[in-house]
A = this chain, B = another copy of it.
């Protein structure tokens, strides 16, 4: 078994930078500042600058970087970031559907594994799952070619009128929040009836539950909704 002779490839760390840029640049693909990246990644701003310079000046640049003006993903960088995102969400779905993980635990495991699975693994779990379009948090899974349908949902905290809505997705970033949401019956697909005046106050009723529920700001911020078609 000839062992790989190369140094600990930079993949994991690089992938995390790319993912963070993708997430922070938003649907409009705005430039992302070093500080915001630094705080998201939990490293010093100086480290970010360093890494960006490397990523931008490599033979196949993964980002477009201009001093003091922030970064953007290059085409190649975006491709890679979406591939990692696809890995992440497929793994989450797999853990949830096939291995019966509790919803709150899938993110952390996927966060580690996403960097190390092969194309074959990706393909096999996609087949096993029937090429799912959404992960268990309700997030869309990028297709193999990187295509993603446009978002049609909005943050619950942007709501300005009462009404009935469907939970589109919940944030996977915080296991504790997620567990609390689930305890209240707020999971993707659930029906929400908002009876207070948003966005100052969220009193709502969920599908099976008779009692009205007051949602704290943290919790509301972790929920995206769409109209109850």
Query: A103-147: contact bitstring with B at CB < 8 Å (1 yes, 0 no)?
Result: 001001100110011101100110010000000000000000000
**A88 to B118 alpha-carbon distance, docked (Å):** 16
Q: Which of B105, B120, B173 contacts A120 (CB 8 A)?
A: B105
Q: Determine whether the beta carbon of B174 is less than 8 Å from that of A1.
A: yes
Interface stretch, picked from A94-102, A154-162, A196-204, is A94-102
**A109 to B116 alpha-carbon distance, docked (Å):** 9
Interface stretch, picked from A2-10, A46-54, A57-65, A181-189, is A2-10
Residue of B nearest to A172 (CB): B1
Number of interface residues of A (CB under 8 A): 31
Verify if A41 is at the interface (C-beta below 8 Å from B): yes
**A12 to B100 alpha-carbon distance, docked (Å):** 27
Verify if A27 is at the interface (C-beta below 8 Å from B): no
**A118 to B99 alpha-carbon distance, docked (Å):** 13
Residues of B near A26 (CB, < 8 A) are none
Q: How far, in Å, is A172 (CB) from chain B's closest CB?
A: 9
Residue of B nearest to A123 (CB): B99
Q: How far, in Å, is A43 (CB) from chain B's closest CB?
A: 8
Q: Determine whether the beta carbon of A99 is less than 8 Å from that of B113.
A: no
User: Can you offer 30 A-B residue contacts whose CB atoms are under 8 A?
Assistant: A1-B174, A2-B42, A3-B40, A3-B41, A3-B42, A4-B42, A5-B42, A8-B8, A8-B12, A8-B13, A95-B121, A98-B98, A98-B128, A99-B121, A99-B124, A99-B125, A99-B128, A100-B124, A101-B120, A101-B124, A105-B120, A109-B117, A109-B118, A109-B120, A109-B121, A112-B116, A112-B117, A113-B113, A113-B117, A116-B116
